Amino acid sequence: MDIVSPLSQQEDTIINTKIAAALNEQLNMEYYSAYSYLAMSAYFLTQNLNGFAHWMRVQAQEELTHGMKIYDFLDDREADIRFSTIETPKQSWDSPLEVFEDSLAQEQKVSQSIYNIADLALSERDHATHTFLQWFIAEQVEEEAVVRELIDTIKLVGIEGNGLFLLDRDLAQRGLNGTDTTEGQ
């Protein structure tokens, strides 16, 4: 009979194991990013830059939400959700500028990792994963731009004195969803 068997329907919904492995690695990377931003937040607390510390703490919280998006997607696709060791983040820096330069490097690494999974999804013809990743691709453009802008501002105001104090006051204003204008789209 020319009907679709339950087995082949099931195969359609189950995610490719290579893609599931890559998404599980990305889940770890988002949690590493959260850990890393939290370490940056703790560093700023020791520097009495509480606005910077607040900004980094909000950033860490956003990374957790990214991790949970991947977690939920893996669940929706009936994939195994796997946990692995989260690397110890760097915990001391010489200046606020160095912190943001590290942050940009980390975001660029995350962007590259997401592009690689998107490439894999295309080559495996997994359109659902490819579409899912579009949100992350847009989010990375936004995150890299925000960090670059902060690096430029810190260079402009210098690493100490009034300028840094005013920037600290500014960064203290960041709300929970912060600069994330793509949220909910």
Residues that bind Fe ion in the complex, under the rule CB under 5 A: 30, 63, 66, 143
Q: Which is nearer to Fe ion, 54 or 66 (CB)?
A: 66
Q: Least distance to Fe ion from the beta carbon of 60, Å? A: 10
Q: Which is nearer to Fe ion, 139 or 168 (CB)?
A: 139
Q: Least distance to Fe ion from the beta carbon of 61, Å? A: 11
Q: Least distance to Fe ion from the beta carbon of 59, Å? A: 7
Q: Least distance to Fe ion from the beta carbon of 69, Å? A: 9
Q: Which is nearer to Fe ion, 10 or 131 (CB)?
A: 131
For 145, phi and psi rounded to 5 degrees?
A: -65, -45
Q: Which residue has the tokens 């999974």?
A: 117
Q: Which is nearer to Fe ion, 63 or 126 (CB)?
A: 63
Q: Which is nearer to Fe ion, 47 or 111 (CB)?
A: 111
Q: Least distance to Fe ion from the beta carbon of 125, Å? A: 26
